[in-house]
Structure 1
Amino acid sequence: MILLDIFSSPLMSGAQLFLLIVCILIGLGAGLSAMDARSTLDKKKKADH
């Protein structure tokens, strides 16, 4: 519920936007690195065969 408190508080619109952008960037970074790891693993498996 802490995140809900942060996003519902009207005073912190700048901080709220900043946190939202940071969360999105972290999510994208994690997703991209996971996809990258998967593709490299696939390449290694194909090279072994």
Structure 2
Amino acid sequence: MTLLEIFSAPIASGAQLFLLIVCILVGLGAGLSAMDFRNTTPPKESKEK
């Protein structure tokens, strides 16, 4: 089942909007978590000989 099938399905527009908002919020949350993780972990020191 593709996203196109989900959003073109004949469900109530309120549920369609709710699914769209949930998908956007989950995407933003994942992006913010990744950025926060990248900023809080100390950079690995490269060992040069």
TM-score in terms of structure 1 length = 0.71
Give the deviation of 1:5 after TM superposition: 2.2
Give the deviation of 1:45 after TM superposition: 3.0
Equivalent residue number for residue 13 of structure 1: 13
Equivalent residue number for residue 43 of structure 2: 45
| Alignment gaps of 5+ in structure 2 | none
Q: Does 1:26 align with 2:26?
A: yes
Q: Secondary structure at the match of 2:43?
A: helix
Larger radius of gyration: 2
| Alignment gaps of 5+ in structure 1 | none
Identity %: 73
Structure 1 stretches (4+) deviating beyond 3 angstroms?
none
TM-score in terms of structure 2 length = 0.71
